[in-house]
Each structure stands twice: as structure tokens, then as C-alpha cells.
Amino acid sequence: MTGTYLGMPAFPDFPAFPAAAREAVRDEVLRANLRHATHTIRDKRAGAVAELADWDRLRAAGKAVKDHTLRHLDRYLLQLEEAVTAAGGTVHWAADADEANRIVTELVRATGEREVVKVKSMATQEIGLNEALEAAGIAAYETDLAELIVQLGHDRPSHILVPAIHRNRAEIRDVFRTEMAHWGRPAPEPLGDDPRELAEAARLHLREKFLRAKVAVSGANFMVAETGTMVVLESEGNGRMCLTLPETLISVVGIEKVVPTFRDLEIFLQTLPRSSTAERMNPYTTMWTGLGPSRGAEGDGPTAFHLVLLDNGRTDTLADEIGRQALRCIRCSACLNVCPVYERAGGHAYGSVYPGPIGAILSPQLRGTGSTIDASLPYASTLCGACYEVCPVAIDIPEVLLHLRERVAQGGPATRSGVRVTLRPADGHTAERAAMRAARLLLDRPGALRAGERLLARARRLAPRRLPGAGRAWTDSRELPTVAAQSFRDWWDRERSDPR
């Protein structure tokens, strides 16, 4: 699958989730890849979590810290700005994707460089930074292995943690063989599909980029308000190379990533790795505060540090009492790995860098429910609750889905760009609304309901195997339940009621 990745703000032409998922469901290879990967990691996660006797308390603590921070977000962000500035960094505020891209582009231009290395980051994907830089004549190289595979393959990420989860080894080998040479050091010949061989090819390819790069762009998993410290958790160490080798470091981070104190990290450094990679501790935890240790003299670390604080719909989301809990998310991806819908539909069907259950509640909030894809995302779930059960910060995803369905189906209050608005129901729900209303009127009149049941019972022999219209969606793959000859109500009246 090829295609240019579209930035977070606009998805006007993206099809609704069911249509996008249809293709994935029929792709046997994709489904096998996804099934294997998600089942392996979900089982491991369960084991890693079960090891901690105080998991429930850690989960509650993580939720509490995040909720507290979100409630006082303005205060903590100002504290963070002060601390970062005191440590020699510069803080920039970006209201939306365009502004953030403009700030980063200008910062890179000012260095005179034409290329940057990147640490895997959701925020920069959200704003489509790579594409914006490319348009400005700046090449951005992804250094995370999975992200590299996606970039080289002109693909889109399909998972938060493992963006190339939909690819198998043979497919990766083919991408390396045909694409690496266009970006830098070509893949070694011959190249097999053994994971170690593939990793080595990537290592050689990337090493060249690390040693040459003068500018790095990153996100952060956490920002500590009291110290101005940025924290990145990763598995491969490529991030650490980007964070320590280049002279200029630009970090683009969503405003919800701040935590008040250094001590708060204790919770998340336990819950995040166990939830995401099922590791007790992630292999690399890199923290940096402002400039490198030598503050611009000889030594490791950047001599210039810029922090771009990204809003892009977050303040609006914060204004929503029920929906705001989505901002607690620490992007561990546990909810994706247990989601039966994600497992079948794949990440691309969600039309966003945030797929799976969290994507289904985050995208329609950050972007609004105006587009076809965003109006369909709240329905991309059976409300089975598996996501809520595993979420390390206890986001009640089904509750938010229901809340957003309401917004789509019947409209209601929302905040857009800081302004309180009343949304109208999304387009295309007229027939459904009429059906729901008709059903309700019938169900609210037991007499009419009974008459309807009797009519149905009498006509039951006429019931076709395949229905037209909306019913087709059921009968295409399933038989209809047979209508009973006599409803329970009628049985009860005949058998149990006092004789009339």
C-alpha cells in the first residue's frame, strides 16, 4: 500500500472506517501479520503486568497524576517554560499543526542545514512534520527501525509502537533492497530476511546519518514541570544517538505530556514499558534538561535546545468533561493490542496516526467530528471493554465512544478553537435517526409492540434469506434469527396470567 501520509488536521477524502476496514479484512497476509503480532504482545503484557502486586494502585496513581496535571495544565506549562528557559532552552508555543511546522522549519533553516534525524515521535507525525520539512527542501530521516521501514516503503504507520506491524520480514527485506539506496547507504548484498540481518542493514544505513547530522527532531514521552526535563523511552538506542550527537535539538511535544515533579516519573517508568513492550524496564530511558551537561562547551548533548509545545486541539479536548480523559493517554498501545476490531481492520483504516481504540476517541476530538472518517470512528468498536481493562491510566474508552456517538448522532455542545459551540448532528444519519425514533415509538407502546410481534410471527414464513437495504449488511454473511410463532408475551398470557 502506498500513499502520501496526510497530516492530522484534514482528512476530507478519507473513507469511513467500515469502507477502509473492508480492504484490510480481506487481506489474508495483513490479517495474519496483525493477529500474530498483537496476540504475542498481549500475552506478554498480561504476564508483565501480573508480576506487579500493586498494579491496580500504580494504575490509579497514574490516572490521578494525569488528572491533577490536566486540571492545572496552565500552571504546570508555565512552570515548565520557566525551568526549560533557565536550563538554556527556548520554548515555543504552537496552537496548531501549521504553526508547529512553521516554527520547526524556521529553526532548521536558521541552522543552515538541509537534513535532520528524527527520534520516533507521535506528535511530529500528528502534524505531518516530515512532509512540511520536505516541502521546505529539508530531508527528515526516521531512525526508529519500524519507522524507517514505513518511511522507506512510502507507507503509513499502522500502530503507535510498532508502526510497521502490518509488514512481515520478507516485505521488509524487499523494501530495504529497493529503497535504501535512494536515501543513503544501500542495503548490503545479498540480504536475507533474518531479523538480525535486517537490523544490521538498518544499523549501517542509520549510522551514516547519525554521524553526519547536525540537527535532530524528537518528541517526548514526558516533560517534568519542576525541572524542565524531557524524557524519551525507547528500545533501540537510536533515539539516544539523535538526542546526544547533533548540535541542535528540537523537541515537539503535546502539552498534555507534562507531569508536575520528577518523582511522578516513578509511576510511568513502570507502567509504560510493561504496557507497551511487556518489558519490566525499557532498554533506553534518555532524559535531558535544557542544553548538554557542559552548557555549550565541549561535551555531549546539544548546544541549542528548542521545545515546541503543541496544542492542536488539546485545549478544546480538555474543555470536554467526559472526553478529556483521552489526554491521560501515555501512548503505550496496549489498547490496540487487545482490540479485536483493530486486529481485523488494521491501523490504516483509522485514517490517523492514532489507530485503535485510543485513535477512535482521540482523533474525533482533536480534529472534530466533521469529516467522514471522524464521524465514523466512534462506531469503530463493539464496546467490548477490553481496551479499558488494559489501559494503564484507566481511560474509560467505551464511555468516551458513547459520548462521541451522541455528538455525531444527535449533536450537542463542544469546544472548537476555544469557542463553545453547539454541533449539529453529522450528515448521513437521517435515516438512522428516523429508524431509531420509529423503534422507540413502537417500543414505548406495548400494545403496538404486541401487534407488531404478531404481524411478524404471521409473516415469518415469508422471511427472505437475504434482506435489502440496511439489513443486507446482516444477511450477506449471516442467517436471520427465525421469528418465533408466539412471542413470550403471548405465551405468558396463555400460560400464566389469570384467566381473563
Partner 1 sequence: MRAALFVTCVNDALYPRTGIAVVRLLERLGVGVDFPAAQSCCGQPQYNTGYRYETEPLVRRTARAFAGHEYVVTPSGSCAAMIRQHYPRIGRKAAAEGRGSELAEAAAALAPRVYELTEFLVDVLGVTDVGAHFPHTVTYHPSCHGLRGLGLGDRPRRLLAAVKGLDLVELPGAEECCGFGGTFAVKNPDVSTAMGTDKITAAAGTGAQVLCGADNSCLAHLGGLLRRADSPLRTLHLAEILASTEEEPLS
Q: Which of residues 253-312 bind ligand SF4 (CB under 6 A)?
A: 275
Tell me if 92 contacts ligand SF4 by CB under 6 A: no
Strand partners, 413: 422
Tell me if 333 contacts ligand SF4 by CB under 6 A: yes
Tell me if 407 contacts partner 1 by CB under 8 A: yes
Find the binder of ligand SF4 among 391, 408, 414, 426 (CB under 6 A). 391
331: left (phi over 0), alpha (psi -120 to 50) or beta: left
Rounded to the nearest angstrom, the gap between the alpha carbon of residue 4 and the centroid of all alpha carbons in its chain is 18
Tell me if 422 contacts partner 1 by CB under 8 A: no
Tell me if 466 contacts partner 1 by CB under 8 A: no
Measured from the CB atom, the residue of 162 and 358 that comes closer to ligand SF4 is: 358
| Rg over CA atoms, the chain | 26
* Cβ 439 to partner 1 shortest distance, Å: 7
Q: Segment near ligand SF4 (CB under 6 A), from 17-25, 71-79, 96-104, 323-331? A: 323-331
* Cβ 46 to partner 1 shortest distance, Å: 11
# of chain residues touching partner 1 (CB under 8 A) = 61
Tell me if 181 contacts partner 1 by CB under 8 A: no
Find the binder of ligand SF4 among 301, 347, 359, 392 (CB under 6 A). 392
Tell me if 332 contacts ligand SF4 by CB under 6 A: yes
Task: For residue 214, give the C-alpha cell.
Answer: 547536525
Tell me if 461 contacts partner 1 by CB under 8 A: no
CA–CA distance, 455 with 80 (Å, rounded to integer): 68
Tell me if 1 contacts partner 1 by CB under 8 A: no
Tell me if 120 contacts partner 1 by CB under 8 A: no
Tell me if 455 contacts partner 1 by CB under 8 A: no
* Cβ 77 to ligand SF4 shortest distance, Å: 21
CA–CA distance, 271 with 499 (Å, rounded to integer): 64
* Cβ 53 to ligand SF4 shortest distance, Å: 21
Tell me if 124 contacts partner 1 by CB under 8 A: no
Binding-site string for ligand SF4 from residue 358 to residue 387, where x marks contact by CB under 6 A and - marks none: x-----------------------------
CA–CA distance, 253 with 460 (Å, rounded to integer): 60
* Cβ 236 to ligand SF4 shortest distance, Å: 20
Tell me if 324 contacts partner 1 by CB under 8 A: no
Tell me if 383 contacts partner 1 by CB under 8 A: yes
* Cβ 336 to ligand SF4 shortest distance, Å: 7
Find the binder of ligand SF4 among 138, 242, 393, 400 (CB under 6 A). 393
C-alpha distances in angstroms, 289 versus 108, 184, 307?
20, 32, 11
Measured from the CB atom, the residue of 201 and 334 that comes closer to ligand SF4 is: 334
* Cβ 218 to ligand SF4 shortest distance, Å: 19
Nearest one of 186, 168, 190 to 178, comparing CA atoms: 186
> Under a CB-based contact definition with an 8 Å cutoff, are residues 201 and 174 in contact?
no
Q: Segment near partner 1 (CB under 8 A), from 3-11, 156-164, 193-201, 448-456? A: 448-456
Find the binder of ligand SF4 among 335, 366, 408, 414 (CB under 6 A). 335
Tell me if 232 contacts ligand SF4 by CB under 6 A: no
Contact residues toward partner 1 (CB under 8 A) are 17-18, 21-22, 25-26, 31, 340-341, 344-345, 378-386, 388-389, 402, 405-410, 432-433, 436-437, 439-440, 443-444, 446, 449, 453, 456, 470-471, 473-474, 476-484, 486-489, 491-492, 496
Contact residues toward ligand SF4 (CB under 6 A) are 275, 329-335, 358, 390-393, 395
